[in-house]
Amino acid sequence: MISKSPLPCVRPAGWKLLATLALVLVVMVWYSISREDRYIELFYFPIPGKKEPCLQGEAERIASKLFGNYSREQPVFLQLKDYFWVKTPSAYELPYGTKGSEDLLLRVLAVTSYSIPESIQSLKCRRCVVVGNGHRLRNSSLGEAINKYDVVIRLNSAPVAGYEHDVGSKTTMRLFYPESAHFNPKVEDNPDTLLVMVAFKAMDFHWIESILSDKKRVRKGFWKQPPLIWDVNPKQIRILNPFFMEIAADKLLGLPIQQPYKIKQFPNQAGIEPGPRQ
C-alpha cells in the first residue's frame, strides 16, 4: 500500500517546516492502516503525470487543520543538547515522552545523530511518499514511480530486495522499533538510509545502546527477540521525537495519553500496539 502526503510539495524552511511535514506523513499512515477501507478510498493514488507547483505554507495549513493547536518548535528527531546541557522534564513516559528514560536516552544520543541530510535540506521542492507493507503493492509495477519521490519512507522490515519492480529500491527513512528491526539492514536499505527508531519502552533504548556500544545484549522485555547483532552505522540512526506519538494518539486516534497499565494501547506502524509495553 502507498500513502501519499496531502502536501504536494514544501519549500525548505529548516527544522520547523520539515517537522510539520514528517508529522503529517507519519501519523496519517498510522491512522490509515487501522482504517483499511477509508485508506484505500483516500490515500491510494495514481501517479501524477506532472509536478504540481510548490505552495508555500501548505504544510502548516494542513497540519493546523488536522491537529489544531500544535507546537512547530518540536524537532523531528531528538537532539543530545536537549538532554545534556538543558534538563527539560517530559510530562509523559514512553511512547509519548521521555520521562524516566533521560539517562538511557542521553547515552544513545551521544553516539547517534539528529540532522536531516543535506540532500533533502537543499531541495527546492520536497515530494514524499510513505510505502506500507500491504500485499496490494504486489504486481502494481509502481517501483519506478516510487523511486521518483524525493523522500521515500518505509515501515518496519518491509521487504525491498526482490520486489523492486513493485515497491521501488529507494529508501530515505525506515521507521522501526527493536522487534521490527531487520536482522540485516544492508539487504533491504540503501547505504544512506536513515533508520528512525520509534521507542515504546525504556528497554528499547537499552537494546540500541547495547548494540551500538557493544555491551552485553538485552534478551528480555520484548514480545519478540530483536537482533542481537545489527550491522549499522550509528550516524544513520535517528530517534523519533515522542511528541509525534502523542499527537497521533491524541489527535488522530483519540486514545487517552494516561491509560491503565494492563490495557495500554499505542499507535504504531501497524495500527494499534496493545500493552503492557514496559
Model confidence over 157-200: pLDDT tens digits? 999 999 999 999 999 999 999 999 999 999 999 999 999 999 99
Structural domain 2-274, CATH architecture: Alpha-Beta Complex (3.90)
Q: Which helix (H) or strand (E) covers residue 37, if one does?
A: helix 36-43
Give domain limits for the chain: 2-274
Residue type for 197, please? M
CA distance 58 to 78: 25
- E-strand ranges in the chain read 2-4, 128-131, 151-155, 173-176, 194-197, 237-239, 265-268, 271-274
Tens of pLDDT, residues 105-156: 999 999 999 999 998 888 878 888 999 888 889 999 999 999 999 999 999 9
Q: What SS3 class is residue 174?
A: strand
Which grid coordinates belong to 198? Answer: 520509534
Contact 210, 217 (CB under 8 A): yes
Q: Note if the pTM is more than 0.85.
A: no
CA distance 72 to 17: 8
CA distance 266 to 34: 12
Mean pLDDT (whole number) for 25-34: 47
Residue 57 CA from chain centroid, whole number: 23
CA distance 65 to 59: 10
Q: Which residues pair with 155 in a beta bridge?
A: 175
On the 0-12 / 13-18 / 19+ scale of CB atoms within 10 A, 135 is exposed
Which grid coordinates belong to 275? Answer: 500493552
Looking at per-residue pLDDT, the higher value among 247 and 1 belongs to 247
The pLDDT assigned to 20 comes to 56
Contact 250, 257 (CB under 8 A): yes
